[in-house]
Amino acid sequence: MSDVKHGRREIYAALTRKAVLDAAKTLFVGKGFANTSVGDIATLANVSKGAVYHHFDDKQEIFAQLFRESLGGVLQAVADSMLGFDQPWARVDAATRTFLAVYVADPEARMLLQQVVGVLGEQRTRALDEEFALPIIRAMLVELDKVGELKPVSIDATARIIFDVLCGAASSLVDATNAEVAAHELEVAILCMFSGFRRSE
C-alpha cells in the first residue's frame, strides 16, 4: 500500500510541476517575465504558491527550466533533421536550415529567447546554450574531420565560432519584422560561411 501511495505522490508532483511550467510559459510569453508574479503562475496553474515554491526556488528558476526545454526541443529537431542524410555536409545544411526554421515556426521559443538574457543574465544564458549546443556542433566537426571533408582548423575554436554565429542568428530572428525572410537571408549567409571550412575536392 505504501508503494501505491508513494507512486501516487510522484504522479501528483509531476503533474503539479508540469502545470506550473505550462502556466508560467503562457504568462511569460503573453505578459513577459517582469509582469508575471509567482501568484499569477499559481493561480493559472490552479495550485498554491507554496506548491510552486516546493518545485522551484524562484521565478528565475522556472524561466531557466522553460528555456532549457525550449532549447532542448530546438536541438532535438536539429538532430532529427540530420538523420535522413548520408553525406556529412548535407547534414550540416539540414541542421542549419532546421535550426532557423524552428525559431520561425515557434513564436513561443522566440519570446523566451528574447527575454532570456534579461532574466538569467548573459553568463548563465551562455552556459545553458553551450551545455546544449556546443556538443552537437563539435560532433559534426569531428565527423567532417574523420571523413576528410574539413580543412585543417582547430575543432574547438571552430565550434565556438559557429556557436557564436548561430546564437547571433537566433537573436536576429527575434528582432526581425519578418522572421521567415530573415531566416532565409541568415541561412544563405551562414551556409556561405560554413563552406569556407570545407576541404576542396
pLDDT digits (tens, 9 = 90+) for 66-91: 999 999 999 999 999 999 898 999 99
Instruction: Output the pLDDT for position 201.
Output: 57
**Nearest in space to 125 (alpha carbons), one of 189, 174, 191, 182:** 174
Q: Domain 1-56 carries which CATH code?
A: 1.10.10.60
Gyration radius of the chain's alpha carbons = 20
**Residues 155-168, mean pLDDT to the nearest whole number:** 93
What are the pLDDT digits (tens) for 35-47? Answer: 999 999 999 999 9
20, 52 contact by CB (below 8 A):
yes
Residue range(s) in the chain whose domain bears CATH number 1.10.357.10: 58-201
Instruction: Output the pLDDT for position 200.
Output: 76
Instruction: Output the pLDDT for position 1.
Output: 52
Q: Which amino acid is at 55?
A: H
Q: Which amino acid is at 54?
A: H
Q: What is the DSSP letter of 57?
A: S
The label of the residue with cell 510559459 reads: 25
What are the pLDDT digits (tens) for 48-58? Answer: 999 999 999 99
Distances (CA, A) of 16 to 12, 39, 56, 91, 141: 6, 15, 11, 39, 41
Fold (CATH) for 58-201: Tetracycline Repressor; domain 2 (1.10.357)
Q: What percentage of the chain reaches a pLDDT higher than 90?
A: 83
**Residues 161-169, mean pLDDT to the nearest whole number:** 93
What are the pLDDT digits (tens) for 7-23? Answer: 777 888 889 999 999 99
Within a 10 A sphere around the Cβ of 6, how many other Cβ atoms?
Answer: 10
**Residues 124-136, mean pLDDT to the nearest whole number:** 90
Instruction: Output the pLDDT for position 54.
Output: 93
Instruction: Output the pLDDT for position 9.
Output: 78
**What is the Cα 40 distance to its own chain's centre?**
25
Mean pLDDT, the chain, whole residue set: 92
Write out the three cell numbers for 141: 566537426
- Per-residue pLDDT band for 129 (boundaries 50, 70, 90) equals confident
Q: What is the DSSP letter of 43?
A: H
Residue range(s) in the chain whose domain bears CATH number 1.10.10.60: 1-56
The Cα 30–Cα 42 span in angstroms is 16
Torsion, Cα of 161, 163, 168, 173 (10° steps): 140
What are the pLDDT digits (tens) for 168-179? Answer: 999 999 888 899
| Residue positions counted in the chain | 201
What are the pLDDT digits (tens) for 23-32? Answer: 999 999 999 9
Write out the three cell numbers for 80: 532529427
